[in-house]
Amino acid sequence: MVPSDDSNSKTGLYLLVGALLLAALGLILGIYSLSVASSLRGELADLREHSGSLEELREQATKAVTDAERALGRVGTTREETQRAFQEVGNELSSFRTSLNRLTIDLRNLTEKVGELEQRPARSTVATTPSHAPEAGNVTAPATTRPAPERTEDLGPDRAYTIRQGDTFSRLSLLFGVTIDELIAANPGVDPRRLRIGQRVIIPEPGN
């Protein structure tokens, strides 16, 4: 059976519509492909930038490690210097302690000697007459030293005296005209070697 003209025209129309659809689909696919390619190019550029950033980060990390190693070396040197300084300070303190102990011993010995000197009785000096015979009318009595005058303004009603800076029994004996033995006898509970400022001692009457 031979097809009619209507069938041929319909077939041609269908073919034309199909061709148009295929062309439209191809156009859409082309546009999509261009969009995908553009996106891929952008991502590739980003990857290249990130690759450069990663290289910079690696260089920075390497530099940081090098700086840290140098810092650790300086810390080790500082620790050694600190230990050496502490050792020197310890040696100086040991030497100072030894010197201080020696000074303490010398001071104790000196204090004992001063105490012994203060406990010795005061002696009066008597001038002797010349060995040759004196001429008539020129005879003089032997001269004797007299104690210093008593400072009664420093004494209380009970003859109590308040110890001041630098006072010793030797100084008080010269100040009030009494002997050290008399001062010790009048103050049995007082240690002459350990007088304290503000301490009160009794000054006996001279000659008692």
Residue-range domain boundaries for the chain: 11-120, 152-202
Query: Mean pLDDT, to the nearest integer, of 176-198?
Result: 93
Q: What is the mean pLDDT of residues 181-188?
A: 93
Residues 6+ apart with CB under 8 A from 170: 117, 118, 180
Instruction: For residue 161, list its beta bridge partners.
Output: 201
Which of 205 and 140 is assigned the larger pLDDT?
205
Residue 99 or 169, more confident = 169
Q: What are the two backbone dihedrals, phi and then psi, of residue 177, each rounded to the nearest 5 degrees?
A: 70, 35
Residue 120 pLDDT: 55
Residue 118 to residue 141: CA distance in whole angstroms: 31
The answer to whether the beta carbons of residues 206 and 177 sit under 8 Å apart is yes
CATH of domain 152-202: 3.10.350.10
How confident is the model at residue 4, as a pLDDT?
65
Answer whether 173's CB lies under 8 Å from 151's CB. no
Mean confidence (pLDDT) of the chain: 77
d(CA 39, CA 47): 12
Ramachandran angles phi, psi of 154, nearest 5° = -90, 0
Q: For 156-180, what is the mean pLDDT?
A: 90
What is the percentage of the chain residues whose pLDDT exceeds 70?
Answer: 74
> Residue 38: which of 48, 50, 49, 30 has the closest Cα?
30
Give 14 or 105, the one with higher predicted confidence. Answer: 14
Residue 185 — pLDDT band, cuts 50, 70, 90?
Answer: very high
Task: Say what the pLDDT of residue 115 is.
Answer: 62
Q: What distance lies between CA 52 and its chain's CA centroid?
A: 52
In whole angstroms, what is the distance from residue 136 CA to residue 187 CA?
50
Q: What is the pLDDT of residues 10-27, one digit of tens each?
A: 888 888 888 899 999 999
The residue among 71 and 29 whose pLDDT is bigger is: 29
| Residue matched to tokens 């230990």 | 83
For residue range 109-166, list pLDDT tens digits in order: 677 667 666 655 444 333 333 444 344 444 333 333 434 444 555 677 778 999 999 9
Q: What is the pTM of this model?
A: 0.30
